[in-house]
Structure 1
Amino acid sequence: MIATLVLTVMGGMWGLGVFDRLSEGGFGDPTSESAKATKLVEDTFGRQGGDVVVMYTTPSGSTIDTPVIKTRVETALAGLPTDAVKTVASYYNLPQPNPFGTADKSKALVAITLQASDSNTQLKDFARISDQLTLSGLETQFAGQIPIQKTISEMSGADLVRAETVSMPIVLILLVIIFGGVVAASLPVLVGGLAIMGSLALLHAISLATDVNSFAINVASLLGLGMAIDYGLFIVGRFREELAAGRTPEQAVQRTVGSAGRTVVFSATLLVIALAGLLLFPQSFLKSLGYGGMSAVAVAALVSLTLLPALLGILGHRVDKLAMPWRKRMAKSEHGGGWAKLGQKVMKKPLLFAIPIVAALLALGAPFLDVKFGEATEKVLPIGNESRVAVETMNKDFPEIAKTGLDIVVKGNTSQEAVARFAQRVGDVPGIGTAALALDPKDNVWLLSASLDGDALSDESKQAMKDVREVTPPLGASEVLVGGSTAVNVDSLSAIGSKLPWMALLFIMATFILMFLAFGSVLLPVKAILMSALSLSATFGVLTWIFYDGHLASLLGVTPSPLDSGIVVLMVAMILGLSTDYEVFLLSRMVEAKNRGASNEEAISTGLAKTGRVITAAAILLVLVTGAFAFSQVAMMRFVGVGMILALVLDATIVRMLLVPAVLKLMGNAAWWAPPALRRIQEKLAIHEGGDVEDDDPEPPTNQLPVQQPVGAGRHLK
């Protein structure tokens, strides 16, 4: 116990250093054609484009050509540190006329390319120069990739602190209400805090070897606290149940770890595997989210299985110290008779419940069929935010500068005439405006720029980019690469689309194998996978209806736009993992009753009675923890918050408490079936709940029906 506590706390203190190593990039596929094009351009011509765009607006009565204004801007630009700034392109140092000034001469643009290539250093360098670029008497606005990333990072960090500050006291109060005592309620919160600290240490260690995006901290905090509370509820609740059965604290701890502890191990393993699916994708952003989630869940499970049982053993019956007045009444009602009655009602008419629920979930998922995916833009920031306003103003007043295009890199021993003919063929592609040489060739590398007629992320622009890749290369060219923001987005979506089936296959295989080993059935895993798919589709259908179609968007303060593909993949992993979490809790107690000889109906009723209250409480608390992000200022985190609320409410109520009992009733004893050869393997491994804990005082099924020995395929699993 002491070792776990010391290591976690000391690791958390060391882990605070991760905040200085976080990156804001990693959204593109580094193995894609667009990434190769960018690298070839940087290696040959140096980094292109402006990382920071400064827009100066003159006061009334002045113009950008007013001598004093011109002098002030030029002086500020000349004084920028050369170790931070690589190039500066402005209205004042480009040949006149140029597109860096508005027609009425009220606004001027400055495009700054930074020396650093990694986003972390770029953000620090931008912080160094931003004050120097802010000139009194002139309205100064910052646009460009780095200012947007800085704003998103700062707002996400503030949202995380605010979410935890608001949710933690409410969670603690609810835990006191649920447990009926201060001591018992404080244990899951303690585990949650240690889980976050431990995950920071792991992320710091990971950041020493690879890039870690700042959103990994948000995911680690969300899952670390949420899963620690879930596991704490399950273990503390089972410990108190064993004490109430008349066992000594030592016996209660042993039985708790041997039963609920096994379920926690299994649940955490499935969730970690689901999050490990994020590591299959080439984008470092998605890998970072996987690192954060896996670290948090693993530490939460580890602390729940080591420190928490040790504390329970020390506390013993004192776990009920500082009890609330309602604790005695709760102890009498903790058998969960209400949930058992609900299960019996569902099982009397299972089709009446199953068919409408499945139909409703499928209907909720229908909007997702027409969804479109994109990437994070300034629209993820709230309306009126300074950085978003700057980008919108630039797009409006400087359309030629704001319009992005394609960067086409031609490599090989070709001629200027051949490249010119190639540029003409590119310009003839539908959706392409003009195509021309952007820089003088160097080392047999030619860089062309092609403008797009429409928005960079529109379907027409994406198709135009794909068509350009099919244009016949110039004679003598050994390689033609197409890059630019449109190409980056298309390549990233393509990479996600190609890896998503493998992520699904990993989850399906892991769920099937682990659930079979835990429960000894080949059909229960199939049912669990189908239930998870229903929850997932319904959740994303509603999210599409809100965040893409725009329903309720004004109420939530978000701008309808294509869904961010990276965040969608993260949500897939979390929802699949969490949906099996409650499935495991529920089935573990059903199997335990089945092992004691209960019939199918009795096992279902007992499982609902034993876990209904815990699952409901866990879902409510996790909704509070994750739902706090629904009030985030950043649309991506608001998407996560709303999505988690939807998924948890659907899964913990409609699916687990109504649909699962109905389906299990319809399956009958076949639900527990497995081929004899596989059953023998499962019995030898004995990893199911209560696998090696002697039941010296078996409890009768909750509904008090006579226990009948099931026959045939429904034989108990021992």
Structure 2
Amino acid sequence: MFERIADLAIRRARLVLVVAVVAVALMGAVGAGAFGQLKGGGYDDPASPSTKAGQAIEEKFGGETNLVFLVSAPGSRLDAPEADRAGRALVADLRDDPNLENVVAYWDAKQPALRSEDGREALVLAHVKGDETEQRKNAKTVIDAYTGAREGGLSVQAGGGAAVGNDMETQTPKDLLLAEAIAVPLTLLLLLVVFGSVVAALLPLAIGTIAITGTFAELALLGGVVDVSVSATNLTTALGLGLGIDYALLMISRFREQLATGSTVDDAVRHTVHTAGRTVAFSAATVAVALAALLVFPQYFLRSFGYAGVGVVAIAAVGTLFVMPALLVVLGHRVNSGRLPWAKRARTSTRAPLWGRLAGTVMRRPVLTALPVLAVLLVAASPLLGITLGTPDERVLPEDAQSRQVASVLREKFDGNDDAALHIVIDAPVDKAPLGSYAAELSALDGVVRVETGIGTYEKGRLEAAGPGSAALSRPDAQRVTVVSGLTPRSDEAQDLVDEVRAVAPPAGTEALVGGGDAELVDSKDSISGQLPLALGLVALTTFVLLFLFTGSVVQPLRALVLNVISLGATLGVMTWIFQDGNLASLIGVTPQPMEASMTVLMFCIAFGLSMDYEVFVTSRIKELHDQGADTRTAVTDGLGHTGRIVTAAACLLAVSFFAFGTAKISFMQMFGLGSGLAILIDAVAVRGVLVPAAMRLLGRSAWYAPSFLRRFHGRYGLSEGGPAPAPAAAPAPAAQPSAVKDPTGV
């Protein structure tokens, strides 16, 4: 296959480039409609009890409360005549708004639960109509229309789930714009430093452009068939540019290395495709496998990252394998054109002395050098012993976000948090007596402030206030019960209350579905933890198989998996230490809270995939030398000498893209960016630089062990790195091309 790819590039280079340009234009046209097809949300398991409860309440009762208006009268009490008239006018306007339903306000019957203790704040509860995407749009319209200063001296702020989503959608583009404004210039600068020439530095951008436009087109097409989260576009941009740089760096470096030996352009391209191209194909397969594991989760937020991740990796690899060789054929020695002043000093060696010396030192004293690194990584991983998982709430936003400020007032000044109530739906007829008994039992649970039903309000196990019935709570064929607690939303106690509520037997012959924010959190954690073993098992198994096919050894895949788990454990441990335990939290401006479950899983899969990316980069060169007859020590030291600069440069370039997200104001985006960037650097420096050579030295010849039947299998079906040897040079490189004998890696 690689021979045919090389021949195609050599014989039809310009045709390949024309086809690529046309394909990018078509993909760009299709991908331009991606945002119109993609959706918000997607954090919940559609088969969970809380999701089913929400759907039943939406169908029968007009939906759960997801928007809370905090109405304040700073200069007087709300019962003052002018404030009272303005409050009633506001409520009337909200009830007339076509985007809202189930509007319940303090002014309806002067409900004490909807007024603050000092009488200066009151609540208006409402449900924003539509699915998750429509709710976001409708919520923005409503919030923009009604918040701010009002007549009668009133001030209105918006809180609740819909407002949190609106604030996140408002903040996210700002964060992304800032991240890109930092990452793109730095990446361009680093590309110039790494390659040392303008032409070579621009080539990776071509692959990144192909990967990004192709993946946007993929998401646009998928979005018309299945639910796809708009958040997947963030990964597309960062990973598309990063992998384009990684793969192009490997190809260009190998091409320049071959030119430096005096090979012709055609022979250099052919050898590059056979070696670096083969490495790119296997590297892409390992990264895609790790990201494909996201497809096993039922939340389409996570699945969407799987769609985007697999797509961007595959398209980046195809672009690298087909377009990059054609570009190299057309450019030839001009790939070194525009050499910058700092890169003009000629070098005769293709190896990186520093990495070769480091590998040599580690190989001489593997235990002495590896143990301190292992100790540091294990200490860094230790906070994982106390990790807890959660889902996004207002605390992921900056403190000045409106919805977060409303949440703080609800906790401090109101008896019970209506916004965080549990919503129970019984989708069957229920008589008053059994319904009352059920509500009374619920109201007696620890932490419950009141239970609201269609027949009245219950507190501490008894009926506190009878009610005539409400269409929002009672129907002939269904009943809705609202459990309001005084517990901190998303806390362990609030989650325990969900289990206790679900343990209370509903009226005989009925089933009670429990929804609400805390119930969604419990169900989301259960869903993710239930699928996690399958996802991890698939990642481990497929990675093992791919690395075996690549190396012919059963020890190398095991060694790679163990070292990757250690480095990822250290990364997740550091993120837990910061974002959950609160260390350095004030420095980066985040509020300590449980680790966001979806982002933690996503970060693990991406970091694991990129770690395997660099694993293949390094192991490919080591195996090539080993297959040529070098002993393990020589293969490792020379292999790292040749690839150390490439891996370091690729890691730094990719880490910049992720670290730029550390400037975000939304905390889980900060966690994702800082964690992914840190994982890349730990892997490139600590694992590839120290732990890999130490492990290879300790394993010795057994590093390449495989049972005889697997050796025969690999001999028939496996792929090796070497490919045909490059043609010997007939003469030194032409004097007119001085760049051909300079540092071929350019790094």
Is 1:67–2:99 an aligned residue pair?
A: no
Deviations 1:146-178 (A, max 9, x none): 221122122222221221222111111111111
Partner residue in 1 for 2:487: 454
Deviations 1:28-87 (A, max 9, x none): 1111111122222222222131x3322233353574643377248616843776542334
- The equivalences for 1:29-40 within 5 A come to 29-40=45-56
TM-score norm. by structure 1 comes to 0.92
Deviations 1:358-414 (A, max 9, x none): 222111101111011111111111222333223323433334344623222334465
1:555 to partner: Cα distance: 0.6
SS where residue 255 of structure 2 aligns?
Answer: helix
Partner residue in 2 for 1:645: 677
Alignment counterpart, residue 647 of structure 2, candidates 615, 620, 624: 615
Contact 1:519 / 1:591 at 8 angstroms: preserved in 2?
yes
Alignment counterpart, residue 38 of structure 2, candidates 22, 25, 31: 22
- Give the letter for the 1:220 counterpart: T
Contact 1:8 / 1:197 at 8 angstroms: preserved in 2?
yes
Alignment counterpart, residue 550 of structure 2, candidates 518, 525, 528: 518
Is 1:53–2:68 an aligned residue pair?
A: yes
SS where residue 400 of structure 2 aligns?
Answer: coil
Deviating more after overlay: 404-413 vs 661-670: 404-413
SS where residue 400 of structure 1 aligns?
Answer: coil
- The equivalences for 1:673-692 within 5 A come to 673-690=705-722, 692=723
Is 1:469–2:469 an aligned residue pair?
A: no
Partner residue in 2 for 1:499: 531
Partner residue in 2 for 1:248: 264
Partner residue in 2 for 1:228: 244
Is 1:78–2:93 an aligned residue pair?
A: yes
- The equivalences for 1:24-173 within 5 A come to 24-49=40-65, 51-58=66-73, 60=75, 63=78, 65-67=80-82, 70-71=85-86, 74=89, 77-78=92-93, 82-92=97-107, 94-116=108-130, 118-134=131-147, 136=149, 138-173=154-189
SS where residue 329 of structure 1 aligns?
Answer: coil
Partner residue in 2 for 1:298: 314
- The equivalences for 1:83-482 within 5 A come to 83-92=98-107, 94-116=108-130, 118-134=131-147, 136=149, 138-329=154-345, 331-402=347-418, 404-412=420-428, 414-438=430-454, 441-477=474-510, 479-482=511-514
User: Quick one: distance in 2 between partners of 1:509 and 1:343?
Assistant: 29
Deviations 1:254-304 (A, max 9, x none): 211111111111111111111111111111111122222222222222221
Change (3 A) 1:13 1:140: farther
- Give the letter for the 1:30 counterpart: P
Is 1:658–2:672 an aligned residue pair?
A: no
Number of aligned positions between the proteins: 693
More relative contact order, 1 or 2 (CA 8 Å, 6+ apart): 2
1:321 to partner: Cα distance: 0.5
Partner residue in 1 for 2:459: none
User: Quick one: distance in 1 between partners of 2:410 and 2:503?
Assistant: 33
Contact 2:580 / 2:592 at 8 angstroms: preserved in 1?
yes
1:123 to partner: Cα distance: 2.1
Change (3 A) 1:330 1:87: farther
- Give the letter for the 2:664 counterpart: S
Partner residue in 1 for 2:733: none
Alignment counterpart, residue 622 of structure 2, candidates 567, 590, 609: 590
SS where residue 113 of structure 2 aligns?
Answer: coil
Change (3 A) 1:66 1:16: farther
Alignment counterpart, residue 572 of structure 2, candidates 540, 544, 548: 540
Change (3 A) 1:510 1:490: same
- Give the letter for the 1:202 counterpart: E
User: Quick one: distance in 2 between partners of 1:613 and 1:354?
Assistant: 21
- Give the letter for the 1:589 counterpart: R
SS where residue 114 of structure 2 aligns?
Answer: coil
User: Quick one: distance in 2 between partners of 1:558 and 1:330?
Assistant: 48
1:579 to partner: Cα distance: 0.8
Change (3 A) 1:425 1:142: closer
User: Quick one: distance in 2 between partners of 1:210 and 1:98?
Assistant: 45
- Give the letter for the 2:138 counterpart: D
Change (3 A) 1:334 1:69: farther
Deviating more after overlay: 399-408 vs 488-497: 399-408
Deviations 1:456-484 (A, max 9, x none): 3222222232133233332232x222222
Change (3 A) 1:316 1:544: same
Change (3 A) 1:74 1:357: same
Deviations 1:8-37 (A, max 9, x none): 233124312222333221111111111122
Change (3 A) 1:79 1:412: closer
SS where residue 99 of structure 1 aligns?
Answer: helix
- Give the letter for the 2:198 counterpart: V
TM-score norm. by structure 2 comes to 0.88
Partner residue in 2 for 1:705: none
User: Quick one: distance in 2 between partners of 1:511 and 1:654?
Assistant: 21
Contact 1:375 / 1:564 at 8 angstroms: preserved in 2?
yes
Change (3 A) 1:361 1:412: same
User: Quick one: distance in 2 between partners of 1:377 and 1:535?
Assistant: 29
Partner residue in 2 for 1:712: none
SS where residue 648 of structure 2 aligns?
Answer: helix
Partner residue in 1 for 2:6: none
1:113 to partner: Cα distance: 1.8
1:103 to partner: Cα distance: 4.5
Deviating more after overlay: 97-106 vs 382-391: 97-106
1:644 to partner: Cα distance: 1.6
Deviations 1:171-203 (A, max 9, x none): 111111111100001111232233222221111
User: Quick one: distance in 1 between partners of 2:411 and 2:424?
Assistant: 23
User: Quick one: distance in 1 between partners of 2:85 and 2:98?
Assistant: 24
- Give the letter for the 2:48 counterpart: S
1:641 to partner: Cα distance: 1.4
Deviating more after overlay: 591-600 vs 410-419: 410-419
Alignment counterpart, residue 582 of structure 2, candidates 532, 535, 550: 550
- Give the letter for the 2:145 counterpart: Q
- Give the letter for the 2:665 counterpart: Q
- Show structure 2 runs of 5+ residues with no match: 1-16, 455-469, 730-747
User: Quick one: distance in 1 between partners of 2:148 and 2:373?
Assistant: 61
User: Quick one: distance in 2 between partners of 1:134 and 1:538?
Assistant: 45
Contact 1:76 / 1:133 at 8 angstroms: preserved in 2?
no
1:695 to partner: Cα distance: 4.7
User: Quick one: distance in 2 between partners of 1:229 and 1:65?
Assistant: 65
- Give the letter for the 1:95 counterpart: A
User: Quick one: distance in 2 between partners of 1:135 and 1:413?
Assistant: 43
Deviating more after overlay: 1-10 vs 596-605: 1-10
- Give the letter for the 1:286 counterpart: L
Contact 1:395 / 1:402 at 8 angstroms: preserved in 2?
no
Give the CA RMSD over aligned residues: 2.2
Contact 1:64 / 1:108 at 8 angstroms: preserved in 2?
no
- Give the letter for the 2:56 counterpart: L
- Show structure 1 runs of 5+ residues with no match: 699-718
Contact 2:418 / 2:484 at 8 angstroms: preserved in 1?
no
Contact 2:430 / 2:478 at 8 angstroms: preserved in 1?
no
SS where residue 332 of structure 1 aligns?
Answer: coil
Deviations 1:518-547 (A, max 9, x none): 111110000000011001110011111111
